[in-house]
Amino acid sequence: ALAFVFALGIIIFVHEFGHYLAAKGFGMRVLAFSLGFGKRVWGFRRGETEYGLKAIPAGAYVKIIGMHNIEPVDPADEARTYRQKSFGQRVGVAVAGSTMHFILAIGLIYVALVGLGQPAGTMDIAEQQRSWHISSVVEGSGAEAAGLQVGDRIVAIDGEEIADFTDLRRVASPLK
């Protein structure tokens, strides 16, 4: 449960960070970037933005001035409001959170492929099926009695050639 909460916190942080980066990149004034809601537990101010960690870990938010037409804003800051930016810039800020999810997913896929690898060392499904091998043999099983060992590859059963794992299932199935 703790791992799930931590992962969800990372996902929420990355999402809001996308909105934050886009707003800053388009020259909008960002007043706050906070994880959580409610009373502030910890925080600091750097420049015009207040960063914080709140008591209720149920989300996050980025506060950009001028998000609503009726929000009062100092006339000196009007040019830096969300409402004064172009349609494309406003859309850019709005979709930046979701874009960060895609970037996070691509990064995690990369880490998984580099760190864990792929079966048969390739992402080609056909090659994976052709390159399969026995990864484990249960002690006392019929496979062990037959002399099969880890790393072996079954090439035929009763004279019927096994080209890939699908063939093995078809030939070795007790329901054929």
Q: What kind and span of H or E run contains 87?
A: helix 87-116
**CB-neighbour burial class of residue 130 (10 A; exposed 0-12, middle 13-18, buried 19+):** middle
Which among 16, 50, 127, 144 is annotated as catalytic?
16
Q: Known catalytic residue: 16?
A: yes
pLDDT tens per residue, range 38-96: 999 999 999 999 999 999 888 899 999 999 889 999 999 999 999 999 999 999 999 99
pTM for the model stands at 0.69
- Rounded distance between C-alpha atoms, residue 89 and residue 98, angstroms: 15
Q: How many CB atoms sit inside 10 A of residue 63's CB?
A: 15
- Rounded distance between C-alpha atoms, residue 50 and residue 133, angstroms: 56
